[in-house]
């Protein structure tokens, strides 16, 4: 069997697909991944031995400007991604038995699968964007809902309208070009009635939270067996466990002056600091030996050796820290990150710093919660509940979907 896996988004949108691709390979299936052509992602797929088919512009080129992308940028990007998906998937999905997609509103994926007559699966890494009777939709480019509107049904209808405004015209234009009828509701067509949720049930419970029939597989974790660099190990061995500070693929979205603020806040607590360079380019503020800067490393191993993890609240980082039993301080910036910050607090495994621009004093206060021994005890307990077989569960389910689709009709 051959499967096409697709995503356009940050590393947190791409790495789980690599984990799923590896799990599919272990079951004897061939998987290829369509993902943005960023060097980081290419290296990730190469390390796992998974073929990469470049999709659209690099994410870094979109998010690494002096300021975060605007609504106008969103309206320019949407038709570009739709066109890229039709062009790329039409060729890449040839000979494939299924197409699974995730990431930034993947309009164009189901359409190619429909044209080719193969099963389509939409997967997400949190419930944040799925229509719900319990929470409001997040922000999208386009006309915002009125401030005084509280009816969730109305708000989610307006969310669907915003998706149509972004993707409807380019999507239906490409559908017409390949002989498909237009789609009235792009969001619901992309999501399907039964989306898959690639998130751990402890960290992201889904029961009754969305209007859709969600299939929760567990998080798709790519095992990382790489040793930590020698100089990093030497730093870790030289003193007490440091506080890790990193913002992953956040570039222009990272808090202003966060390296200085975090370093001084950690020092105020008598700790050492480990800065992850990331796309924000975090760097040491001085030459003191209580601070170390790392590039791309094995977080699964590293987080088991830190006092706490300060981060933006991406699904991947939140899950990796929780698996390691590391207390967390989440400084949410965009999208689903406030949701993960809330879950960290609800589970008692850390603190949420909801002000997007922390000060030394405010971050020090959040660290007081994370570094409390009771928080470490709770984080250790939660770590024992998190399942690591989500990719294997999803891989088996996907192959079952293909087998059912191939089964001859009786009659």
* pLDDT tens digits, 112-162: 999 999 999 999 999 988 999 888 998 899 999 998 999 999 999 999 999
**pLDDT tops 80 at residue 411:** no
What's the pLDDT tens digit per position in 46-67? 999 999 999 999 998 888 777 7
Q: Is the pTM of this model over 0.75?
A: yes
| Residue 20, phi then psi, degrees to nearest 5 | -70, -40
Q: Specify the pLDDT at position 372.
A: 98
Domains (ranges, CATH) in the chain?
Answer: 2-221+388-406 (3.40.50.2000), 230-383 (3.40.50.2000)
Residue 375's pLDDT is what? 98
Phi, psi of 373 (to 5 degrees): -55, -35
Sheet holding 52-54, edge to edge: 52-54, 30-35, 2-8, 98-103, 120-124, 196-197, 215-216
- Average pLDDT for residues 370-395, to the nearest whole number? 98
- Token couple for 32: 């290829």
Buried b or exposed e, range 352-387, using 16+ CB within 10 angstroms:
bbeebebebebbbbbbebbbeeebbebbeebbeebe
pLDDT of 410 strictly over 90: no
User: What is the per-residue pLDDT for 161?
Assistant: 97
C-alpha 334/C-alpha 252 separation (Å) is 12
Residue 262 clears pLDDT 90, i.e. is over it: yes
Confidence label for 251 from pLDDT (cuts 50, 70 and 90): low
**Which residue has tokens 């429909």?**
114
């Amino acid at each position: 069997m051959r499967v096409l896996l697709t995503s356009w988004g940050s590393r947190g949108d791409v790495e789980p697909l690599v984990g799923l691709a590896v799990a599919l390979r272990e079951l004897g299936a061939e998987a290829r991944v369509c993902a943005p052509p960023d060097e980081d992602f290419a290296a990730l797929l190469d390390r796992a031995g998974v073929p990469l088919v470049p999709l659209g512009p690099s994410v870094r080129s979109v998010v690494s400007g002096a300021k975060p992308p605007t609504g106008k940028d969103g309206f320019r990007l949407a038709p570009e991604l739709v066109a890229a998906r039709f062009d790329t998937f039409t060729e890449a999905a040839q000979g494939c038995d299924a197409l699974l997609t995730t990431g930034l509103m993947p309009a164009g994926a189901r359409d190619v699968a429909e044209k080719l007559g193969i099963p389509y699966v939409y997967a997400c890494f949190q419930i944040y964007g799925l229509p719900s009777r319990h929470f409001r939709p997040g922000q999208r480019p386009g006309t915002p809902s009125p401030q005084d509107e509280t009816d969730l049904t109305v708000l989610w209808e307006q969310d669907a309208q915003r998706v149509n405004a972004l993707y409807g015209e380019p999507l239906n234009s490409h559908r017409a070009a390949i002989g498909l009828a237009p789609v009235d509701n792009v969001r619901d067509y992309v999501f399907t009635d039964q989306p898959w949720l690639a998130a751990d049930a402890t960290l992201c419970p889904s029961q009754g939270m969305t209007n859709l029939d969600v299939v929760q597989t567990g998080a798709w974790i790519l095992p990382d067996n790489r040793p930590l660099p020698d100089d990093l190990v030497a730093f870790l061995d030289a003193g007490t466990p440091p506080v890790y500070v990193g913002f992953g693929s956040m570039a222009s979205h990272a808090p202003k002056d966060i390296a200085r603020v975090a370093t001084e806040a950690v020092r105020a607590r008598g700790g050492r600091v480990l800065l992850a360079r990331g796309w924000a380019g975090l760097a040491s503020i001085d030459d003191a030996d209580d601070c170390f800067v790392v590039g791309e490393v094995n977080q699964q191993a590293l987080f088991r050796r830190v006092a706490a993890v300060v981060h933006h609240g991406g699904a991947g980082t939140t899950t990796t820290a929780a698996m390691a039993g590391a207390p967390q301080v989440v400084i949410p910036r965009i999208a689903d990150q406030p949701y993960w910050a809330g879950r960290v607090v609800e589970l008692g495994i850390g603190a949420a710093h909801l002000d997007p621009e922390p000060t030394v004093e405010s971050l020090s206060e959040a660290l007081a919660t994370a570094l409390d021994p009771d928080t470490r005890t709770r984080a250790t307990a939660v770590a024992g509940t998190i399942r690591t077989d989500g990719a294997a569960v999803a891989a088996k389910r996907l192959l079952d979907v293909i087998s059912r689709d191939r089964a001859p009709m009786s009659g």
